[in-house]
Amino acid sequence: MWCSEGVVCHHTGSFGESARGIAEHPELGLASQLHLSPQGVYTICGVGIAWHAGEGEYPGLPDNAANQYTIGIEAANGGGGSPGKPHRFGWPDAQYDAYVRGVAAILRPLGQPASHAIGHKEWAGAAQGKWDPGAIDMNIFRADVARVMGGVNPTEGDSAMALEETFKNYKGDTVTLGTAVRYMDQYVNEIREQLGGPTPFKGWAQLGGRTVVDALAVIGEKLGIEGFVTPQHATVIATPAAAGGEAHAPGGAQ
């Protein structure tokens, strides 16, 4: 399942991290939907589920499943160097302002409040020891997002039309933030429907009530392809864990 419930804010650990590095992470694939440069420029790295959150928990989100419910933003920043620094230490004005306004631009059309912007450290701090987005006090950040959503620029005090701001997307086309968010929401829901059926994970009638993944598993098992198993057989394989052994889903799924 994939639905937009909020935004998880990250920093990359380096001012030099590129959008391509986020879009084509060697281990994760799509590591975040958006990249934010130190100059305050957003790049769309991809649509659909991005593997940015990892294990964690936060009120209102299912444990260990933030990727399926949130949009990730990776800001190219060192985070301030180390934990414990004052708010915004090491964050250029242009980047911080764009961070606030971009998050507001995402949450507004989703009908979500500023409280649905969370730091990766708030989600994964206990589980993974994360501290991003570094020296950003998330309570102050959320207050700034709320002011922008109410029409006030947190750094200048004038009216902010965040949805009308433009940037170059991954293909180099100039688009508004509002247009980008609208298409992201449309595309991810289309992808979700194609994979899981008209009602998520209920399957397609023409696939025997199976999702695309389950149908592919049945075909692969019938053809004798190594590692392909039906959901029923996958359950059997995982059963030894109940007897004290350690079982893993085929293919190392997480």
The answer to whether the CB of 12 falls within 8 A of the CB of 77 is yes
**What is the pLDDT at residue 198?**
65
For the cut 90, the answer to whether the pLDDT of residue 248 exceeds it is no
Query: Cα 18 to the chain's mean position, in Å?
Result: 17
Q: Going from the N-terminus, what domains does the chain have, and what CATH number goes with each?
A: 6-194 (3.40.80.10), 203-252 (no CATH)
Q: Round to whole Å and give the CA distance between 54 and 95.
A: 25
Q: Averaged over 208-233, what is the pLDDT? A: 87
pTM above 0.75, yes or no: no
Q: What is the pLDDT of residue 182?
A: 76
In the block, tokens 């939907």 appear at 33
Query: Where does the pLDDT of residue 2 fall: very low under 50, low under 70, confident under 90, or very high at 90 and above?
Result: very low
Express each pLDDT in 164-214 by its tens digit.
677 777 778 887 777 787 778 787 777 777 777 666 667 788 888 888 888
Report how far residue 73's alpha carbon sits from residue 87's, in angstroms, rounded to the nearest whole number: 19
